[in-house]
Amino acid sequence: MNSTKIAITAFSSLSPLGNNSESVWKKYLDNQHCFSTQFLDQQETSVASLDAESKEIVAKLRESDAKYKFLDDSVLFALAASRKAVQDAGWKEDAVFGINIGSSRGATDLFEKHYKEYIDTGKAQTLASPTTTLGNISSWIAHDLQSTGPEISHSITCSTALHALLNGVAWLKSGMADKFLVGGSEAPLTDFTIAQMRALKIYSRLDQAKDLWPNLAFDFEKTQNTMILGEGASVCCLEAGEKENAIAYISAVGYATEILEHNISISAEATCFQKSMKMALKDESPENIDVIVMHAPGTIKGDLTELRAIEKVFGAHLPLLTTNKWKIGHTFGASGMLSLELALLMMEHNKFVDVPFAKAQKQHKEIKKILINAVGFGGNAVSVLVEKA
């Protein structure tokens, strides 16, 4: 792959932390999680839903166009984030750019409603198929932004957003495009999705009314799984070459897949992460990495195996380590890009965001280089190295 620099020129998200970087950063600086309680899967359940302002943005967007009334939240989340990112990047209406916005589960809520109606009545609505297909998100964003470039959709479970970034980097380095909008979106807070996570025995049983931290992502000595689901969308604008408005540059990317022992397996030392991190660090000394934003979903095995992989790659000289899932939950396909958001904010403000219930880590130098990890079912890991502009 050629040496063309890949600039991140804009970033936008909708999440439980808010919808603009200032509010997101302020919430990262406090020690409060964003979990609320909803009645899902026939019981009280901890979830991380959008903040009130983001919900209002989505509601107004749904009412702004008759066609948008029938779209799933996952599409509207991504559409709102994409509008802001493109505007912040200064891409004009006639700009030609590619789009790759993925999702782990896609139109979750809408699909479940259409399927229930079919079971109840034996009939499907006219728009059931076009509003729940996998390509639904990127197609609607292309429509809304009037993009004439390539549009790609995919689902690679929880590493979906960073795989979208990989695709964007590949297109830009190949010379087939000079701008790409990449990211992920997820709206998984539904009965059936929660039931599936409970069936896997990975959903948190901790009570947020009694336990200060119902998601213990980054606690490597926990005795039970504590994953909690969140919703949101996160995108960034990528451009080929050096740019005056660059927020950061993508220095390198890595990826790997493990040989499966079963459907959701990952090895004891996360071989896939070791490979993806080593690939991303091929031309970089591990000692130069200031921070790693871990995937760390809050499960016993998921958190610990990633830590073991990091220890294997970095030895005794570990960078600062953090994650955001204790605060906003696991947003499935959007999670990797929300981790990138945290990385960009830490570089911008030159301040490390620690996990409040973990052993304190001290920042001793300027934050210039951060590695972001993501992995999904099947051990499909991605590692992205970003460098301060």
> How is 197-224 classified by DSSP, letter by letter?
HHHTT-B----TTT-S-S--TT-TT-SS
Q: What is the pLDDT of residues 334-360, one digit of tens each?
A: 999 999 999 999 999 999 999 999 999
376: which residues sit within 8 A by CB, 6+ positions away? Answer: 104, 156, 157, 158, 159, 160
How far apart, in whole angstroms, are the C-alpha atoms of residue 80 and residue 18?
12
CATH of the domain at 60: 3.40.47.10
Give, in order, the Cα–Cα distances in Å from 92 to each of 24, 86, 146, 147, 341.
Answer: 26, 8, 11, 10, 24
Q: What is the pLDDT of residues 15-24, one digit of tens each?
A: 999 999 999 9
Domain residues for the domain of 65 are: 6-240
Whether the predicted model's global pTM rises above the 0.85 cut: yes
CB burial of residue 130 (10 Å; 0-12, 13-18, 19+): exposed
Position 305: which residue type?
A: T
Q: Check if the beta carbon of residue 5 is closer than 8 Å to that of residue 241.
A: yes
Q: Are residues 229 and 289 in the same domain?
A: no
From 179, 207, 240, give the residue that closes a domain.
240
Q: Are residues 286 and 359 in the same domain?
A: yes
How far apart, in whole angstroms, are the C-alpha atoms of residue 344 and residue 183?
15
Strand-pairing partners, residue 253, are: 384
Q: Are residues 50 and 120 in the same domain?
A: yes
368 assigned to some structural domain: yes
Q: Are residues 109 and 70 in the same domain?
A: yes
How far apart, in whole angstroms, are the C-alpha atoms of residue 204 and residue 91?
42
Residue written as token pair 């991605």: 382
Q: Are residues 75 and 214 in the same domain?
A: yes
How far apart, in whole angstroms, are the C-alpha atoms of residue 265 and residue 267?
7
How far apart, in whole angstroms, are the C-alpha atoms of residue 323 and residue 356?
11
Q: Are residues 279 and 342 in the same domain?
A: yes
3-7, 108-112, 200-204, 350-354, range with the lowest pLDDT: 3-7
Q: What is the pLDDT of residues 129-169, one digit of tens each?
A: 999 988 889 999 999 999 989 999 999 999 999 999 999 99
Query: What's the token pair of residue 26?
Result: 């302020």
> How is 236-248 classified by DSSP, letter by letter?
EEEEES--TT-SE
Q: What is the pLDDT of residues 262-294, one digit of tens each?
A: 444 566 678 999 999 999 999 899 999 999 999
272: which residues sit within 8 A by CB, 6+ positions away? Answer: 256, 257, 258, 266, 375, 379, 380, 381
323: which residues sit within 8 A by CB, 6+ positions away? Answer: 217, 218, 293, 294, 295, 296, 339, 355
Please report the pLDDT score of residue 111 as a whole number: 95
